[in-house]
Structure 1
Amino acid sequence: MAKSKLLRMDNIGIVVESLDETISFFEELGLELEGRATIEGEWAGRITGLGNQHVEVAVMVTPDGHSRLEISRFLRPAVISDHRTAPVNAFGYLRAMFTVDDIDELLIRLRRHGAELVGEVVQYENSYRLCYIRGPEGLLIGLAEQLDNK
């Protein structure tokens, strides 16, 4: 029997309190809203192990069409844990990293959506300028500006 192989990564999921605020932030970052739906019922809960769940979901896609964020707002069952303010060295899934063409200009726009710089913008050799920001609801987002294309 042939060994199954990985084909692609479809998305990264995040759970938020405000779907609208989070969508607005990621639209400003450059993602497009691909779709929005309400998912409920026992069938969905059989996948997640949460039973009869009710969730609002939005899927956002990067400009190249290859990467997606699935943003969820749980109406039922209630959220039981909060990792949004975990530091960079915490266990578990922590952040999403995006490549951008101009960190400085983007930071100005994202600050209007409540983004805060975690440390500072740092240049790594002659390759990248990098930073972490806290976006809506404290979500940790990495930004990378490639320098060798300039």
Structure 2
Amino acid sequence: MALKRMDNMGIVVEDLDATIAFFLELGLDLEGRATIEGEWAGRVTGLGDQCVEIAMMRTPDGHGRLELSRFLAPAVVADHRNAPVNALGYLRVMFAVDDLDDTLERVRKHGAQLVGEVVDYKGVYRLCYIRGPEGLLIGLAEEL
């Protein structure tokens, strides 16, 4: 059996509403929100009895999704939001954008900050990393 697709990438946050607003501004669509709880969910995650509020965000092409989660129980146990770009583990999510300058202007209104600088990669892409809500590391790429 072959892999069919990547379904979504999960990101745990404290402020779900602000994070949703940020990703809406970036251009993702809110597919839905729900509270997931009960022992069945804990059997999947290994956390036991859990309660988590989720929001599913979809890219405009319909192929990519982010599952934003705010855990109500059990409590969050670790915080990797300020890890540098060379930290082990999951690093960042990268989005292709039409206009990098316009995108940066819009997401700065939601607290996004440039990590380094916008660079030209061999005349093919303009690239940058930003810190979004709660310090999430996000890559942006504009094809030239």
Report TM bin, short chain: over 0.9
Partner of 1:118: 115
What percentage of residue pairs aligned between the two structures are identical? Answer: 75
1:10-61 Cα offsets, whole Å, 9 max, x none, are 0000000000000000000000000000000010000000000000000000
Are residues 1:40 and 2:43 paired?
no
1:52-83 Cα offsets, whole Å, 9 max, x none, are 00000000000000000000000000000000
Partner of 1:29: 26
Partner of 2:50: 53
**2-structure distance, mates of 1:73, 1:126:** 40
Note the 1:67-146 alignment, pairs <5 A. Answer: 67-146=64-143
Q: Normalising by structure 2, what TM-score?
A: 0.99
Letter of the 1:76 counterpart: A
1:81-101 Cα offsets, whole Å, 9 max, x none, are 000000000000110000001
- Which secondary structure does the structure 1 equivalent of 2:56 belong to? strand
**2-structure distance, mates of 1:132, 1:126:** 18
Name structure 1 gaps, 5 residues minimum: none
CA apart distance, 1:126: 1.2
Aligned length: 144
Name structure 2 gaps, 5 residues minimum: none
Larger Rg, first or second structure (1 or 2): 1
- Which secondary structure does the structure 1 equivalent of 2:24 belong to? helix
Partner of 1:5: 2
Runs of 4+ deviating beyond 2 Å: none
Letter of the 1:75 counterpart: L
**2-structure distance, mates of 1:33, 1:132:** 23
Q: Normalising by structure 1, what TM-score?
A: 0.95
- Which secondary structure does the structure 2 equivalent of 1:144 belong to? strand
Partner of 1:64: 61
Instruction: Give the aligned CA root-mean-square deviation in angstroms.
Output: 0.4
Letter of the 2:66 counterpart: L
